[in-house]
Structure 1
Amino acid sequence: MLIALLYGLGTAVPLVLGAVIGLRWTLPKAVLASLMAFGAGTMIAAVSNELFEPAFGQAGVLIAALALFAGAGVYVVANHLIETRLGASAIGWALMLGTVLDGIPENTALGVTLDGGGGFALLVAVAVGNVPEAISGAALMRDKHGIRDWGPLWLWTATGLTLVVVTVVGHALSDNLSATHISVVQAFAGGATIAVLADSLMPEAYREGGWWVGMATAAGFLVAFVLG
């Protein structure tokens, strides 16, 4: 249980630190784009090695594929609803909600895979991916809504605490889940992560940084692959 708590904190602390940076400072676009691209690269490796591959090997192509598309579908639909309801001016709030929609299945998968000795590359990928999401979301809250106090920080902190709880609960329930159930969680999280990369993180990184962010993406992939 202590390991699950530490892993949960390992994903939550970077999220809160990113929100503090976004609320207090304005980072150069090149730096923020590099962080986004590096995080995207780590998440690509984690989806392949830590999430979908074990699910595919254990549950087979049909179950793994259905869970993958379910995860992607949930994020795509939820993200569309957020954009439709809140509009472009509330993109900072949408990023925070997107962090929750993406983080819950990821951190659940992180919790349930700890007993198998895996999860470290996934931890790195989630932690690195959370930083640019939080920086961007908090900065947009500040710039587009004129929020200069620390009110949004409590929301980001609550989001981080939610991810810690999800990790611990996922680990606690892992003993009561069959191998197929765990595979479904892993593949679902992989699908949600792929959707986040395609719909949000990578387009934003390219828009802010340009063609060279592909190198940062490759660097992130290499780091997570080696750790995995």
Structure 2
Amino acid sequence: MWNAIFWGTLAASATMLGSILALKISMPKRVIGYIMALGTGALIGATTYELLEDSLEISGFKEVAIGFLGGALLFTILDYLISHKGGGHERKGSDRADNHTVSDHTQSSSENVGKTSGMGIFIGTVMDTLPESAMIGLSLVGGGSVSLALVVSVFISNIPEGLSSTVGLRESGFSKKKIIVMWGFVVFFSALSSLAGATLLEKASDSIKAIVSCFAAGAIIAMIASTMMPEAYKEGGPTVGFVTSIGVFIALWLHHL
């Protein structure tokens, strides 16, 4: 039991670490872009090698499709609602468009996108961290050893998620205290999720295990495609493609340790 809580807390604590870095250290935007790109690559690799591949080994494509597409769809709906809310504020200001230049409007649009992406990444992090923690706990069932590749990949990817989301949340007007409390709840519930994976999912069917795992995978892919990748490219430029490749390779290397 305590092993599950420990490993779940450790993996999720990286979100808090990323948040603290964003609040305490003024990082160059290019560095933030590189960190996000590395985390994106690690997430893609962990999703492919740990979540989807392992799910296919214990179930079929139907279970993978239900979980994967369900997770992606739910995140997309939530992200759309957040973006639509932000867009609503922008549309309210359209009546004053004749008092602003085109460049002012473009800058305002960019700022709105940055603000909504912070909450989008936060929601995506919650949606993938909890099922990931459950999978970490599940790997300990029957006295087995924890999946080191999954823990490290989740830890690496959670740092830029916490960092970039915190930057967006600060731009949206969230206080430092509120942000820390939000990430504290994420870490706490991740520990409980890991415990649940080691206990409640122990007797679950392989199909249920696969659906839960793939749900996390779907949320991860939808989140990085709509929030992390665009933000990483905007901050880091074309070189983030190579940094992302490094993240994927790290996940592959960890998977075969």
TM-score, normalised with respect to structure 1: 0.90
| Percent identity of equivalent pairs | 31
In structure 1, stretches of 5+ residues that fail to align are none
- How far residue 86 of structure 1 moved from its aligned partner, in angstroms, is 4.9
Q: Is the 8 A contact 2:12 2:129 kept in 1?
A: no
Q: Please give the alpha-carbon distance, in whole angstroms, between the structure 2 residues aligned to 1:184 and 1:79.
A: 21
Matched residue of 1:150: which SS? helix
| CA spacing shift, 1:113–1:77, aligned 2, 3 Å | farther
Q: Does 1:101 align with 2:127?
A: yes
Residue aligning to 1:206: 233
2:222 alignment partner, SS class: helix
The size of the alignment, in residue pairs, is 227
The reply on whether 1:59 has 2:62 as its aligned counterpart is: no
> In 2, distance between residues paired with 1:190 and 1:151?
28
Q: CA deviation at 1:146?
A: 7.3
Any gaps of 5 or more consecutive residues in structure 2?
88-111
Distance 1:190 1:118, change over 3 A: farther
- Deviation track 1:73-94 (CA, whole Å, cap 9, x = no partner) reads 1111111112223553454344
Which is further off, 85-94 or 125-134?
85-94
Residues 196 and 94 from structure 1, CA distance in 2 versus in 1: closer, same or farther, beyond 3 angstroms? closer
> Is the alpha carbon distance of 1:118 and 1:46 closer, same or farther for their aligned partners in structure 2, counting shifts above 3 Å?
farther
Moved over 6 A (4+): none
Match of 2:156 in 1: 128
Q: Which residue of 2 aligns with 1:20?
A: 20
Matched letter for residue 164 of structure 1: A
Bigger Rg, which one? 2
Cross-structure match for 2:39: 39
Residues 1:119 and 1:75: Cα distance change in structure 2 (over 3 Å): farther
Cα RMSD between the aligned structures? 2.0
Contact 1:109 1:189 in 2 (8 A): no
The TM-score normalised by the length of structure 2 is: 0.80
Q: Is 1:184 the counterpart of 2:211 in the alignment?
A: yes
Contact 1:43–1:122 (CA under 8 A) maintained in structure 2: no
1:37-76 superposed Cα distances (whole Å, 9 cap, x missing partner): 1111111111111111121122112221222111111111
Query: What is the CA–CA distance in structure 2 between the aligned matches of 1:36 and 1:195, rounded to whole Å?
Result: 15
What letter matches 1:111 in structure 2? G
For the residues of structure 2 that align with 1:12 and 1:66, how far apart are their CA atoms?
25
Q: 1:89-122: per-residue Cα shift (whole Å, max 9, x none)?
A: 4543443233212322222223223336463222
